[in-house]
């Protein structure tokens, strides 16, 4: 199985060396990382595709428990009619369950600068695009209150890594796990280049992205208000305190991408890709 450690260290030939295809490619989708656009493009490029999602209007159980149920439903469906690629906002325990059911599953994911991700998630949950927007607006008065929500802390860790790593803020252990466990770890800030690399891995040839999904373009005024809030050093400090693990993970992976961007672009061009 390919490992992101080779890609992120600039060992591109080793990363793309021919290997037996995994039984399933699973995109572990951290919210607001351009994942909806990525999933849409990959669904068209590498069918069949299956989405792992919950009914957000079902308030009978917490979301992680509802994801337990849909994960089991996905496993049953995958055994009956296998897809090549699947994605969802699954958390670490759901990923573990899928790996138990389908050993050798290939994992990939996309990260985003944590403060930007937090702002984007806040605006999205308050927008008409979200089915519970009215409830969110009534329950969460402003961005500072959103920052304090336990469920918004260290979202990278919740989806991608064992909870203890975030609890202990063990960034080095988290980075080692990501680089070894995942076949691809991209960053939204290098989305086009990452997409080209990912499609070289999944489809055998680099492609350029096309889809733009779940883009919240109607919140400009509200976003300006959040940006003004972020000028408060105490709010910035609070975000950093509550998301120290995510910030450390993203900072290191983004630095990897900064180092490999030029050589990787040239490498993909040589394999027949259209430059992004």
What is the rounded CA–CA span in Å between residue 208 and residue 86? Answer: 20
What is the rounded CA–CA span in Å between residue 90 and residue 253? Answer: 21
Q: How many CB atoms lie within 10 A of CB 189?
A: 16
Structure tokens at 206: 């680099």
Q: How many CB atoms lie within 10 A of CB 22?
A: 18
**Domain ranges across the chain:** 4-270
* pLDDT tens series, the chain, 276 aa: 789 999 999 999 999 999 999 999 999 999 999 888 999 999 999 999 999 998 877 778 888 899 999 999 999 999 999 999 999 999 999 999 999 999 999 999 999 999 999 999 999 999 888 888 888 888 999 999 999 999 999 999 999 999 999 999 999 999 999 999 999 999 999 999 999 999 999 999 999 998 665 556 667 788 888 999 999 999 999 999 999 999 999 999 999 999 999 999 999 999 874 444
What is the rounded CA–CA span in Å between residue 254 and residue 268? Answer: 19
CATH class of 4-270: alpha beta
Strands 184-187 and 25-28: unpaired
């Amino acid at each position: 199985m390919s490992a992101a450690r080779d890609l992120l260290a600039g060992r591109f030939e080793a990363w793309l060396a021919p290997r037996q295809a995994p039984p399933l490619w699973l995109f572990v989708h951290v919210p607001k990382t351009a994942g909806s656009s990525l999933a849409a493009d990959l669904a068209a490029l590498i069918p069949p595709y299956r989405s792992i999602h919950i009914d957000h209007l079902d308030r009978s159980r917490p979301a992680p428990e509802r994801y337990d149920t849909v994960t089991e439903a996905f496993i049953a469906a995958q055994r009956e009619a296998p897809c090549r690629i699947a994605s969802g906002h699954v958390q670490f325990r759901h990923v573990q369950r899928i790996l138990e059911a389908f050993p050798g599953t290939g994992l990939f994911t996309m990260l985003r600068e944590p403060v930007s991700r937090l702002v984007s998630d806040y605006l999205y949950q308050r927008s008409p695009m979200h089915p519970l927007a009215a409830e969110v607006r009534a329950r969460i008065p402003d961005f500072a209150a959103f920052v304090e929500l336990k469920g918004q802390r260290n979202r990278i860790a919740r989806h991608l890594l064992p909870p203890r790593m975030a609890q202990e803020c063990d960034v080095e252990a988290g980075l080692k796990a990501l680089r070894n466990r995942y076949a691809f770890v991209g960053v939204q800030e290098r989305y086009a280049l990452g997409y080209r690399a990912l499609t070289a891995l999944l489809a055998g040839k680099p492609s350029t992205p096309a889809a733009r999904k779940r883009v919240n373009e109607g919140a400009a005024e509200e976003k300006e208000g959040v940006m003004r809030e972020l000028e408060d050093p105490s709010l910035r400090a609070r975000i950093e305190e509550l998301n120290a693990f995510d910030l450390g993970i993203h900072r290191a992976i983004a630095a990897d991408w900064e180092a490999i961007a030029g050589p990787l672009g040239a490498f993909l061009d040589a394999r027949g890709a259209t430059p992004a």
